[in-house]
Amino acid sequence: MKKTILLISLVISLFSIEKSDEITKLSPGLQSLLSAEMVEVNKSMQEIFESIISADYENVKKLSKGIENSFILKKKLTKEQGKELTTKVSSEFLKQDKRFHEIAGELSNAAEFEDKKDINKYFFEMTNSCVKCHSTFATHRFSNFN
Protein backbone atom coordinates (compact mmCIF):
# COMPACT_ATOMS: atom_id res chain seq x y z
CA MET A 1 0.00 0.00 0.00
CA LYS A 2 2.57 2.51 -1.11
CA LYS A 3 1.60 4.28 -4.34
CA THR A 4 -1.34 5.31 -6.48
CA ILE A 5 -2.07 3.98 -9.92
CA LEU A 6 -0.20 5.71 -12.72
CA LEU A 7 -2.47 7.08 -15.39
CA ILE A 8 -1.97 8.83 -18.71
CA SER A 9 -4.90 10.12 -20.80
CA LEU A 10 -7.07 13.16 -21.32
CA VAL A 11 -10.84 13.43 -21.00
CA ILE A 12 -12.14 16.96 -20.92
CA SER A 13 -15.79 17.27 -20.05
CA LEU A 14 -18.06 18.57 -17.36
CA PHE A 15 -19.41 15.03 -17.02
CA SER A 16 -16.06 13.64 -15.92
CA ILE A 17 -15.54 16.46 -13.45
CA GLU A 18 -18.94 15.80 -11.90
CA LYS A 19 -18.26 12.06 -11.75
CA SER A 20 -14.91 12.73 -10.10
CA ASP A 21 -16.71 14.44 -7.24
CA GLU A 22 -18.53 11.27 -6.19
CA ILE A 23 -15.33 9.66 -4.89
CA THR A 24 -14.47 12.69 -2.78
CA LYS A 25 -17.88 12.46 -1.11
CA LEU A 26 -17.16 9.03 0.36
CA SER A 27 -16.38 8.66 4.05
CA PRO A 28 -12.72 8.86 5.01
CA GLY A 29 -12.70 5.15 5.89
CA LEU A 30 -14.01 4.09 2.50
CA GLN A 31 -11.74 6.55 0.69
CA SER A 32 -8.84 5.05 2.61
CA LEU A 33 -9.84 1.53 1.57
CA LEU A 34 -10.10 2.54 -2.09
CA SER A 35 -6.77 4.34 -1.88
CA ALA A 36 -5.08 1.32 -0.30
CA GLU A 37 -6.38 -0.89 -3.10
CA MET A 38 -5.12 1.55 -5.74
CA VAL A 39 -1.67 1.60 -4.14
CA GLU A 40 -1.47 -2.19 -4.27
CA VAL A 41 -2.76 -2.30 -7.85
CA ASN A 42 -0.20 0.30 -8.90
CA LYS A 43 2.63 -1.65 -7.30
CA SER A 44 1.46 -4.87 -8.97
CA MET A 45 1.05 -3.21 -12.38
CA GLN A 46 4.64 -1.97 -12.22
CA GLU A 47 5.89 -5.42 -11.22
CA ILE A 48 3.81 -7.05 -13.96
CA PHE A 49 5.44 -4.77 -16.53
CA GLU A 50 8.90 -5.77 -15.28
CA SER A 51 7.89 -9.43 -15.33
CA ILE A 52 6.52 -9.22 -18.88
CA ILE A 53 9.69 -7.71 -20.27
CA SER A 54 11.78 -10.36 -18.52
CA ALA A 55 9.48 -13.27 -19.51
CA ASP A 56 8.72 -14.13 -15.88
CA TYR A 57 5.26 -15.45 -16.64
CA GLU A 58 4.84 -17.16 -13.29
CA ASN A 59 5.14 -13.78 -11.58
CA VAL A 60 2.75 -12.19 -14.10
CA LYS A 61 0.26 -14.93 -13.26
CA LYS A 62 0.67 -14.48 -9.50
CA LEU A 63 0.46 -10.68 -9.53
CA SER A 64 -2.48 -10.47 -11.92
CA LYS A 65 -4.37 -13.09 -9.91
CA GLY A 66 -3.79 -10.91 -6.84
CA ILE A 67 -5.31 -7.92 -8.65
CA GLU A 68 -8.25 -10.02 -9.80
CA ASN A 69 -8.99 -11.01 -6.22
CA SER A 70 -8.67 -7.52 -4.77
CA PHE A 71 -12.01 -6.36 -6.26
CA ILE A 72 -13.36 -3.81 -3.78
CA LEU A 73 -16.71 -5.53 -3.30
CA LYS A 74 -14.92 -8.78 -2.38
CA LYS A 75 -13.10 -7.06 0.47
CA LYS A 76 -14.43 -7.21 3.99
CA LEU A 77 -16.47 -4.05 4.09
CA THR A 78 -18.70 -3.19 6.97
CA LYS A 79 -22.40 -3.24 6.10
CA GLU A 80 -22.35 0.54 6.36
CA GLN A 81 -19.42 0.84 3.93
CA GLY A 82 -21.04 -1.58 1.51
CA LYS A 83 -24.22 0.47 1.52
CA GLU A 84 -22.26 3.68 1.13
CA LEU A 85 -20.29 2.29 -1.79
CA THR A 86 -23.37 1.15 -3.68
CA THR A 87 -25.37 4.31 -2.99
CA LYS A 88 -22.76 7.06 -3.35
CA VAL A 89 -20.82 5.92 -6.39
CA SER A 90 -22.32 5.36 -9.79
CA SER A 91 -23.02 1.97 -11.25
CA GLU A 92 -20.60 3.02 -14.00
CA PHE A 93 -17.76 3.21 -11.46
CA LEU A 94 -18.61 -0.19 -10.02
CA LYS A 95 -18.91 -1.69 -13.51
CA GLN A 96 -15.53 -0.33 -14.60
CA ASP A 97 -13.88 -1.53 -11.39
CA LYS A 98 -15.36 -4.99 -11.78
CA ARG A 99 -14.25 -5.19 -15.43
CA PHE A 100 -10.70 -4.16 -14.54
CA HIS A 101 -10.42 -7.05 -12.11
CA GLU A 102 -11.91 -9.45 -14.67
CA ILE A 103 -9.24 -8.41 -17.18
CA ALA A 104 -6.61 -9.13 -14.52
CA GLY A 105 -7.99 -12.66 -14.34
CA GLU A 106 -7.71 -12.97 -18.12
CA LEU A 107 -4.10 -11.80 -17.89
CA SER A 108 -3.42 -14.42 -15.23
CA ASN A 109 -4.84 -17.13 -17.49
CA ALA A 110 -2.77 -15.91 -20.45
CA ALA A 111 0.37 -15.96 -18.29
CA GLU A 112 -0.37 -19.49 -17.14
CA PHE A 113 -0.15 -20.61 -20.78
CA GLU A 114 2.68 -18.20 -21.60
CA ASP A 115 0.54 -16.70 -24.37
CA LYS A 116 2.66 -13.65 -25.13
CA LYS A 117 0.13 -12.08 -27.48
CA ASP A 118 -2.69 -12.27 -24.94
CA ILE A 119 -0.42 -11.23 -22.08
CA ASN A 120 0.37 -8.02 -23.93
CA LYS A 121 -3.26 -7.58 -24.96
CA TYR A 122 -4.64 -7.89 -21.43
CA PHE A 123 -1.93 -5.76 -19.84
CA PHE A 124 -2.72 -3.06 -22.40
CA GLU A 125 -6.45 -3.42 -21.63
CA MET A 126 -5.78 -3.12 -17.90
CA THR A 127 -3.75 0.04 -18.45
CA ASN A 128 -6.49 1.54 -20.61
CA SER A 129 -9.04 0.61 -17.97
CA CYS A 130 -7.03 2.51 -15.35
CA VAL A 131 -6.86 5.54 -17.60
CA LYS A 132 -10.58 5.46 -18.37
CA CYS A 133 -11.60 5.12 -14.74
CA HIS A 134 -9.21 7.73 -13.39
CA SER A 135 -9.95 10.24 -16.13
CA THR A 136 -13.64 9.89 -15.28
CA PHE A 137 -13.63 9.43 -11.51
CA ALA A 138 -10.31 10.68 -10.15
CA THR A 139 -9.59 14.02 -11.77
CA HIS A 140 -9.45 15.44 -8.24
CA ARG A 141 -6.38 13.24 -7.73
CA PHE A 142 -4.94 13.36 -11.25
CA SER A 143 -5.37 16.97 -12.31
CA ASN A 144 -3.72 16.45 -15.70
CA PHE A 145 -7.00 14.90 -16.82
CA ASN A 146 -8.76 18.27 -16.42
Would residue 103 count as lying in a domain?
yes
Residue 74 pLDDT: 63
Would residue 89 count as lying in a domain?
yes
Is-contact 106 118, C-beta < 8 A? yes
> The CATH number of the domain where 113 resides is what?
1.20.120
Would residue 20 count as lying in a domain?
yes
Q: Specify the number of domains making up the chain.
A: 1
Q: Is the pLDDT higher at 18 or at 106?
A: 106
Residue 23 pLDDT: 87
Range of the domain at 60: 14-145
Q: Is the pLDDT higher at 72 or at 83?
A: 83
Task: Give the pTM.
Answer: 0.82
Lowest mean pLDDT of 4-13, 60-69, 118-127, 129-138, name the range.
4-13
pLDDT digits (tens, 9 = 90+) for 8-18: 232 223 333 34
pLDDT digits (tens, 9 = 90+) for 75-85: 668 889 989 98
> Mean pLDDT, to the nearest integer, of 23-27?
90
* Distant-in-sequence, close-in-space partners of 117: CB < 8 Å, separation ≥ 6: none
Measured CA to CA, the distance from residue 44 to residue 67 in angstroms comes to: 7
